[in-house]
Chain A
Amino acid sequence: MKVTGRCHCGQISFEAEIDPTQVRVCHCTDCQHLTGTAFRTNVASLPGSFVLKSGTPKIYIKTAESGNQRAHAFCPDCGTPLYAAAPGPNPTSVGLRVGTLDRRAELRPARQGWCRSALPWSMDLTDVARFERQLQ
């Protein structure tokens, strides 16, 4: 499936091919900090399919508990998180942030990682009051 994505201010855009059955939620504490919310939602680009169409993201190298490093790309102007990849030039595949994809509503996660650090409420929001817009 082809997807297109962009940051909020529009400076950075990209496209890729993905497998829509491989969408994942990540509940690790790093993802909570970096997104400022409960979890991240990612989908890997198929090898060789990711194309940066415009802009130059800022890269933040994050070192995990395991010692693994990931290059996290975000827009230096609006701060939108874009993707993560192995550090170094021309990674084979990148983990796209699903919220930046135009077709995100079609991308239902199939797996959740790091459930041991999941915020307890994030698994079931059915009882949280819903409003179509925002209350003032």
Chain B
Amino acid sequence: MKVTGRCHCGQISFEAEIDPGHVALWHCVDCQRLTGTAFATFVVARREDFRLVIGTPKLYVKVGDSGNGSAQAFCENCGSRLWASAAVAEPGSYRLRVGTLDQRAELLPARQYWFRSALPWTSDLPCGERVERQ
């Protein structure tokens, strides 16, 4: 499936081919901190299927418990989180952040990783009042 993505200010855009069966939520504490919310949502694109169309993201290298470095790409102007990859010159794949993709409503997660640190309320969100606008 072809997807197109961009940051909020539009300075960075990209496109990729992805397998919509490989959408996953990440509940690790690093993802909570780096998104400022409950979990990250990723879908994987192979390097040959990913193309940066415009802009240059800023990279932040995060070192996980395993010791492996992960490069976190974001827009330095608006701060939108874009993708993550291995912190090497030519990563084999990119984990695209689903919220930046125009097709995000069609991308249902199949797996939840790092569930041991999931915020307890995330599984059943209809908690309290819902409002259609703000």
Contact = CB atoms under 8 A, between A and B. Distances in A.
A131 B27 CA distance: 10
A114 B99 CA distance: 15
Interface string B6-33: 1111000000000000000110101011
> How would you classify the secondary structure of chain A's contact residues: helix, strand, loop or mixed?
mixed
A124 B128 contact: no
Interface string B97-127: 1111000110011111111101111111111
B9 A60 contact: yes
B60 A77 contact: yes
Interface residues of A, number: 61
B72 A78 contact: yes
A8 B72 CA distance: 11
B34 interface: yes
Contacts of B90: none
Interface of A: 6-9, 25-26, 28, 30, 32-41, 58, 60, 62, 72, 74, 76-82, 97-100, 104-105, 108-116, 119-126, 128-135
